[in-house]
């Protein structure tokens, strides 16, 4: 059985690890450009939108549906890239934590 003091230290280590992981993800910059280059979406590693750039040529009335479709596709591409980066960061951080032994029990 683990003592209460040791549990508190392990929780603090885990909290520190999670905070460091969040800080690293916030610093990540995931830039995605639509096919044709008309739209650029930039997310951070927590999948928050940091920037959107849209080519003025896409603002013509006859291109509204195309613009909507392109925005959706570009956001989805950016989200998939961000999810991959998040998974890599979590795996990296967990492999260096006390929890890595726990996960080895199941793998």
pLDDT, residue 23, reads 86
CATH number at residue 40: 3.30.1310
What is the domain range of residue 77?
Answer: 34-101
Whether residue 2 lies inside any domain: the answer is: no
Tens of pLDDT, residues 12-50: 677 787 788 888 888 889 999 998 899 999 988 888 899
pLDDT (tens digit, 9 = 90+) per residue, 70-87? Answer: 999 999 999 998 889 888
Determine, yes or no, domain membership for 29: no
Residue the block writes with tokens 């793998």 = 107
- Domain total for the chain? 1
Whether 6 is covered by a domain: the verdict is no
Q: Which residue has the higher pLDDT, 26 or 3?
A: 26
Provide the 10 A C-beta neighbour count for residue 39: 20
| Residue 82 covered by a domain | yes
Residue 4 lies in a domain: no
Over residues 81-103, the mean pLDDT reads 75
Beta-strand relationship, 49-54 and 29-33? unpaired
């Amino acid at each position: 059985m683990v003592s209460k003091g040791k549990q508190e230290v392990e929780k603090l280590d885990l909290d520190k690890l999670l905070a460091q992981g969040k800080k690293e993800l916030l610093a990540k910059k995931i830039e995605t450009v639509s096919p044709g280059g008309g739209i650029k979406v930039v997310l951070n590693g927590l999948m928050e939108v940091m920037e959107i750039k849209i080519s003025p040529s896409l603002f013509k009335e006859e291109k509204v549906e195309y613009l909507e479709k392109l925005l959706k596709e570009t956001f989805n591409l950016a989200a998939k890239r961000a999810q991959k980066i998040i998974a890599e960061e979590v795996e990296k951080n967990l492999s260096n934590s006390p929890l890595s032994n726990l996960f080895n029990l199941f793998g």
